[in-house]
Structure 1
Amino acid sequence: MPGPAIAVVIGSLRKASFNRRLATALMRIGPAEFTFTEAPIGALPLYNQDEEATPTPALSQFRAQIRAAQGVLFVTPEYNRSIPGVLKNAIDQGSRPAGQSVWGGKPAGIVGTSPGAAGSAMAQQHLRNVLAMLNVAVLPSPEVFLQFKEGLIAEDGSIADERTAKFLQGWMDRYAAWVRRFAA
């Protein structure tokens, strides 16, 4: 019996994104029975209520993927002390039309990295506020405010620093238990 399907929402569109590297690292160390799949947000149109009745194929696919997932993993950078606009747009798109949100009741985890000393702490706090309104059950702790330094996580997701690898494994273990709790 396959384990939970996890939709991974990466809040950066950059191919060489530090957060994409972090997402790849977490998917690599996640439980073998979990299926981690990125839910791409780059092709989603900007939210416009006038267009709710005619979603694009990319939007329909995104909503279906989130709806089918047993959990969501948000990996976000911090832009100007908040979440990137592209991530907020994806969340808004998934919450609409009214009464048809794909987010409600999903267990979620939030992580992020940034070159700044505070990692992505402010962005994560803003994201928690948005997700609370949408009835998303976010893992309360531990939190991951990872300061990114070149060489910390390779493009293939391997983690060079042993302390960071241990910390992220502990976080992933807690996240997996969180998702299993909601699946039970």
Structure 2
Amino acid sequence: MLQKVLFVDDEPQVLASLQRALRREPFEIVVAGSAQEALAILERETVDVVVSDEEMPGMSGSELLAEIYRLYPDTVRMILTGKASLEGAIKAINEGQISRFFTKPANTIDLVVTIRQALQQKALMCESRRLLRAARDQSSLLEELERRQPGISAIQRDTAGRILIEEEQGDFNSLIQEIQQQVKKSERALSLRKRK
């Protein structure tokens, strides 16, 4: 499934320009002409990165990104603005928890590289969470096994670090020999069946 990047700007020509510039990128581009439209899109589908204009009628980009942060905290948020100011940047960073601040016209290469990095970072975070859940599940399973069979998860190692196997039911080498004998018997039986 392609990752999605949502561009929000009240100027249709800016959205069209971004779509043209990024059309060959390995992610799906979604556009919205207002903050309300962007929120409606986010309700319907999962978006990985949102790049919003700051100055829009109704709701500013930093207000939109603050709302996105509240509702969809895993979505990466960036600002793209034509009127950069220190006050606007601080507001966007503090309220919207943005990861990047771009000025218009944005350098397309810089924008693409930043979006790619954000998508990679998001994918890594998702994989990290998945692995953490798997580790917790495995740990819970081991704890349950240990409760039922005390000592079952204990591992003994020799001085070289090799795992030691307790030989409760006879010699390990004789067990291997027995298995090898059974395999040979099975092979002979199969070859006799093939001859018939």
TM-score (norm: length of structure 2): 0.45
Please state which structure has a larger fraction of its residues in helix. 2
Find the structure with the greater CA-based Rg.
2
Alignment TM-score, normalising by the size of structure 1: 0.47
